[in-house]
Amino acid sequence: MTRILVAGGAGYLGSVLVHMLLVHGYSVTVLDNFMHGQSSLNHLCSFEKLKIIRGNAREIAVDPKFVKSFDILIPLAAIVGARACELDYQATYEINTRAVQILTALARPEQIIVYPNTNSGYGKSGEALCTEETPLKPISNYGISKKEGESFVLRHPHGVSLRFATLFGASPRMRLDLMVNDFAYKAVRDRYLVIFEGAFRRNFLHVRDAAATFIFAIQHIEAMKGRAFNAGNSALNMTKLELAHQISAHTGCLVHEAPEGRVDPDQRDYIVSNARLEGLGWCPLYGLKEGIAELVRCFAQPFEGHRNA
pLDDT, position 83: 75
**DSSP assignment string, 112-146:** EEEEEEEGGGG-S--SSSB-TTSPP---SHHHHHH
pLDDT, position 201: 87
Tell whether 79 and 102 lie within a shared domain: yes
Tell whether 126 and 195 lie within a shared domain: no
Query: Which domain range does residue 15 map to?
Result: 3-167+204-232
The 10s digit of each residue's pLDDT in 159-175 is 999 999 999 999 999 99
Tell whether 93 and 188 lie within a shared domain: no
| Contact criterion met (CB below 8 Å) for 194 and 245 | no
Tell whether 179 and 109 lie within a shared domain: no
The domain spanning residue 19 has which CATH number?
A: 3.40.50.720
Q: Which portions of the chain are predicted below pLDDT 50?
A: none
pLDDT, position 204: 96
Q: How far apart are CA 54 and CA 35, in angstroms?
A: 10
61 falls within a domain:
yes
pLDDT, position 61: 63
Number of domains in the chain: 2
Q: How far apart are CA 46 and CA 42, in angstroms?
A: 9
Tell whether 60 and 189 lie within a shared domain: no
Question: Which helix H or strand E contains 19, and what residues bound it?
Answer: helix 12-23
pLDDT, position 271: 87
Tell whether 75 and 185 lie within a shared domain: no
The 10s digit of each residue's pLDDT in 14-69 is 999 999 999 999 999 999 988 777 789 999 999 999 999 998 877 766 688 999 99
Tell whether 76 and 190 lie within a shared domain: no
| Contact criterion met (CB below 8 Å) for 45 and 139 | no
pLDDT, position 264: 61
pLDDT, position 308: 54
The domain spanning residue 242 has which CATH number?
A: 3.90.25.10
Tell whether 240 and 267 lie within a shared domain: yes
